[in-house]
Amino acid sequence: MAHNNGYVFRKGPSWFLRYRENRNENGEIVRKQKCVFLAEYCDRYRTKSDLHELVAEKLAGVREAAKCPRSSDPFREYVEDVYLPFVLRTMKPSTYAGYSTCWKRYLRPRVGKYALRDFSVAIVAGLLRDIANTYKVNRDTVTKVRSILSGIFT
């Protein structure tokens, strides 16, 4: 089933979606093919047309990402190359020191595998929960980390 930017197929007991997306590799935008698992073959997902909602959900993220060329950048790279230098230029030195310390201590070790477009509310909530469980931090520290994440995405 050819979809706007993807192809749905069944292999064994699973349904997959194959599509192409733009990625930033060494400063150049390259087009790569990607294949993702959609669902197990079952009574709910017997035919390709039963997968329409899942396909639309997956491809919506790809279409949104295509609007912003930097969305495929690694999150870590974006923060260190764009956001923190912006904070350094526009805010007080004490604010920059607090943000960069919080970034290095709490966030940087946990976000290595994410690109900018991969972030969702669930991922941010998981990061905050992981920080709260790993470190003995109070509510204000978790709120500060959340605020910094909000600033990064704003």
Predicted pLDDT of residue 93: 94
Predicted pLDDT of residue 144: 92
Residues 123-150 pLDDT 10s: 899 999 999 999 888 899 999 999 999 9
pTM of the model: 0.59
User: Nearest CA to 23 among 84, 79, 77?
Assistant: 77
Neighbours of 151 (CB within 10 A): 13
Predicted pLDDT of residue 143: 92
- Mean local confidence (pLDDT), 5-23: 88
Residues 22-67 pLDDT 10s: 776 776 777 888 898 989 998 888 988 888 888 888 888 777 766 6
Of the pLDDT bands very low, low, confident and very high (cuts 50, 70, 90), residue 4 is low
Give the residue with greater pLDDT, 147 vs 21: 147
User: Nearest CA to 20 among 59, 55, 74?
Assistant: 59
User: Nearest CA to 58 among 38, 80, 85, 44?
Assistant: 38
Predicted pLDDT of residue 69: 63
- Mean local confidence (pLDDT), 76-84: 90
Q: Is the pLDDT of residue 1 over 60?
A: no
* Separation CA 3–CA 143 (nearest Å): 42
Residues 102-123 pLDDT 10s: 999 999 998 887 887 778 888 8
Of the pLDDT bands very low, low, confident and very high (cuts 50, 70, 90), residue 70 is low
Residues in the chain: 154
* Separation CA 15–CA 67 (nearest Å): 27
Q: Rg of the Cα trace of the chain? A: 19
